[in-house]
Amino acid sequence: MSSNMTSNQIRQTFFDFFKGKGHKIVPSAPIVVKNDPTLMFTNAGMNQFKDYFLGNKDA
């Protein structure tokens, strides 16, 4: 591994590491959640997974 990596190479290395450990890579999501009047602010970066936690979507 080169010591002069681009930000895209670092990002891909991060994804590859966790994918190799069995984690699922999910699409990026905006910080501000749209079309959800129940959320007044973003906390902990987990809002995009709310429907999965509530059982409204399958993982």
In a domain, 51, yes or no: yes
Spatial contact of 1 and 12, defined as CB atoms under 8 Å apart:
no
pTM, entire model: 0.55
In a domain, 19, yes or no: no
In a domain, 56, yes or no: yes
Question: Which residues span the domain enclosing 47?
Answer: 24-59
Q: Is the pLDDT of residue 31 over 80?
A: no
In a domain, 8, yes or no: no
The model's pLDDT over 34-56, given as tens digits with 9 standing for 90+, comes to 788 887 777 777 788 888 888 99
CA distance 38 to 17: 35
Number of domains in the chain: 1
Determine the longest span between alpha carbons in the chain, in angstroms.
Answer: 46
Torsion, CA 48, CA 49, CA 54, CA 58, rounded to 10: 120
In a domain, 40, yes or no: yes
